[in-house]
Chains A and B, each alone.
Chain A
Amino acid sequence: MADEKTNAEAYWKANVRLITGCLIVWALVSYGGAILFRPLLSSIPIGGTDLGFWFAQQGSILTFVALIFFYGWRMNKIDKKFGLEE
């Protein structure tokens, strides 16, 4: 019983760690690259404008899609590792 409980706690910790990592990337591309850091990226040209504009209208959306699939894939592995899959 105690083992099961520590196992479950470790599983939840691994999940929260993964979520934190993913959300840092999520915030970096949208609030960072597309908004707050846009002036810093203004020297990187892309198709008539700068990288920040690309992040705002394309890059962040593409990153969001990749993040969800990455999370799903990692979580499936974590589910199996801790024996908690359905």
Chain B
Amino acid sequence: MSQFAINLLFVGASFVLYIGIAIWSRAGSTKDFYVAGGGVHPVTNGMATAADWMSAASFISMAGLISSGGYANSTFLMGWTGGFVILAMLLAPYLRKFGKFTVPDFIGDRFYSRTARVIAVVCLIVASVTYVIGQMTGAGVAFSRFLEVSSTAGIWIAAAIVFLYAVFGGMKGITYTQVAQYIVLIVAYTIPAVFIAMQLTGNPIPMFGLFSTHSESGVPLLEKLDDVVNALGFQDYTADVDNKLNMVLFTLSLMIGTAGLPHVIIRFFTVPKVADARWSAGWALVFIALLYLTAPAVASMARLNLMTTVYPEMAGQVENYDAAADNALQYEDRPGWFRTWEETGLINFEDKNGDGRIQTYNDSNADFADTAQQRGWEGNELTVNNDILVLANPEIANLPPWVIGLIAAGGIAAALSTAAGLLLAISSAISHDLIKNTINPRITEKGEMLAARISMAGAILVATYLGLNPPGFAVQTVALAFGIAGASLFPVLMMGIFSTRMNSAGAVCGMLAGLLSTLLYIFTYLGWLFIPGTNMLANTPENWLFGISPLSFGAVGAIINFAVAFAVSRVTKAPPQEIQDLVQSVRYPKGAGVAHNH
């Protein structure tokens, strides 16, 4: 069987499974549609939350980022898991007790304000739409590579699949589909990692292999990796970071962004009891950790594998790295995976010094320029897109074709499950918060479901359009999504629970201050609405305020939000008694009941 046929088989079989589950668990009522009937077991819900949370960014991009950045990019590992700790302690149980369907529901009721509700809806839609674009392009890349179609066709296939199971299944369909997707994606991620850890260290558990001895050279894996990248002019893989403030703030931004992203929060409305919301967050993190503990091992092992493919003599015990660097791989002898990825344009080779060999090194390191010149190198000749690392990993390690088919199915599962969860959050914000609670309160249940399905279809079309015409700033849009969720939604949700004194004026001013300051800072460096050339300052570390990168500003925005909300609420009227009673009631688990409609 050809690799193409195997990919088709794996991806096709997984689709039949997802759509079958969606049809089997069709949503019958608005409650089913939004919260899966409120009867999902914490472990099941944890697994679905994990699939919901782990997107194409976690599955495809994260290991690549760590691989290129080393220790400095550990921020993604800590940020995207640490958020669940604050979610479990500061938000999830109380929002479950509150017992409504959506995040704007809570903000609107708690702050007894239509303005607050509408601002929350806007923040939610902007954060979710920017995030969903990345999922559509991610799924498009995976489809086009493995099904050998154009990336445009890949995005349309992804849109059609998401449409089928999200629109007909609602939350109920999505929950059980996501459980299946979690299993597919974790198996797909782990199996190649186990094989590679075995090959490199003899230890089958990747998270232990990372700190074991590299079999071929006999030195610890990370030390070996440091030596190899060092010999090529890169800084040590494990090197410490100078700008600690920025690293702390970036991690914090990712954490509070995680806790404030609405599609993750609504998952906790679907468990039967308040205590289950706590367990559910714990189980979600267990299932997420299975991938996140493996990712750093994949990252370092893939980097070492890639480097020793290019410089085969660096793999074993090396006396003299200069000599080993001379015998770089002949371009003609490049392996099969190199050729297939070259066709996609994601690996590029340019023979700058015309010696027919592939030289890859850090040509922007001034201290290394002399060494490079002595070796006869005239610039880095190999560019490898970070995003292909996980997808190409099994091929680099010569694993059997079925593992590659599995990776294809896993990457697509990761992108689709997150896209579906985000689209559900968007559609419920429009149909429930905007139409039912703001514009037309007398809409029937049937009408509301129809509105939810239409808005979901609309959201899919917008996301597909933007996926086909990507604005070309993937990292920035993700930063925007996290910045908005962290700087606007998270602080008011938290204050709504932990401060009885917080009133509507405080919340509205806080949300606006957090949102606008974050947008202002991001746009100053990245251009107004990301339009190139409209930025007021160049996006370089010297220009950043106190060395804080625009990607890390969400945490500062959140602090501004807290400060403004606190100050404004002290000088304005305390919230009415029934609101203070509401805050008291969400704090105690007793009498939660199932999530209900108004």
Q: What is the 8 Å Cβ interface bit string for chain A, positions 47-81, against chain B (1 contact, 0 not)?
A: 11110111011101110110111011001100100
Q: Given contacts A22-B85, A23-B86, A53-B238, are A72 and B293 in contact (CB under 8 A)? A: no
- At the interface, yes or no: B26 with Cβ under 8 Å from chain A? no
Contact A56 B77 (CB under 8 A): yes
CB distance from B485 to the nearest CB of A (A): 19
Mask, B255-269, CB within 8 Å of A = 1, is 000000000000000
Asked if B219 lies at the interface with its beta carbon under 8 angstroms from chain A, I say: yes
Number of interface residues of A (CB under 8 A): 44
A18 and chain B: residue at smallest CB distance: B89
- Whether the Cβ atoms of A61 and B85 lie closer than 8 Å is no
A52–B248 alpha-carbon span in the complex (Å): 14
Q: Mark B196-228, 1 if CB is under 8 A from A, else 0.
A: 000000000001001110000001111110100
CB of B148 to closest CB in A, whole Å: 35
Known: A48-B221, A86-B589. A61 touches B71 (CB 8 A): no
Whole-angstrom CA separation of A62 from B222 in the bound complex: 20
Q: Is the CB of B274 within 8 A of A86?
A: yes
Binary B-proximity of A35-50 (CB < 8 A = 1, otherwise 0): 1101100100011111
Contact of A64 among B71, B90, B241, B285 (CB under 8 A): B285
* A19 in complex: contacting residue of B90, B207, B211, B293, CB < 8 Å: B90
- The smallest C-beta distance from B92 to any residue of chain A, in angstroms, reads 10
Contact with A along B39-83 (1 / 0, CB 8 A): 000000000000000000000000000100001001001100110
B222 and A49 contacting across the interface, CB-CB below 8 Å: yes
Interface residues of B in 242-293 (CB under 8 A from A): 244, 247-248, 251-252, 273-275, 278-279, 281-282, 285-286, 289, 292-293
CA distance A28 to B340 in the complex (A): 45
Chain B residues in 8 Å Cβ range of A64: 81-82, 84-85, 285, 289
The majority secondary structure among interface residues of chain B is helix
Check: B296 CB closer than 8 A to any chain A CB: yes
Bound Cα distance A54, B82 (Å) = 16
Known: A57-B296, A62-B293. A86 touches B591 (CB 8 A): yes
- List B contacts of A34 (CB < 8 A): 74, 78
| Across-interface contacts of B66 in A (CB, < 8 A) | 57
Nearest chain B CB to A28's CB is how many angstroms away?
12
Q: A48-B220, A84-B590 are in contact. Are A61 and B89 (CB under 8 A)?
A: no
Closest-by-CB residue of B relative to A76 is B275
B211 touches A30 (CB 8 A): no
Bound-state Cα–Cα, A39 to B238, Å: 12
B residues whose Cβ falls under 8 Å from a Cβ of A: 66, 71, 74, 77-78, 81-82, 84-86, 88-90, 93, 207, 210-212, 219-224, 226, 238, 240-241, 244, 247-248, 251-252, 273-275, 278-279, 281-282, 285-286, 289, 292-293, 296, 498, 584, 587-592
Cross-chain pairs A/B with CB under 8 angstroms, 11 sampled: A8-B588, A15-B587, A47-B210, A48-B211, A52-B240, A56-B74, A57-B210, A61-B81, A64-B82, A72-B282, A85-B275
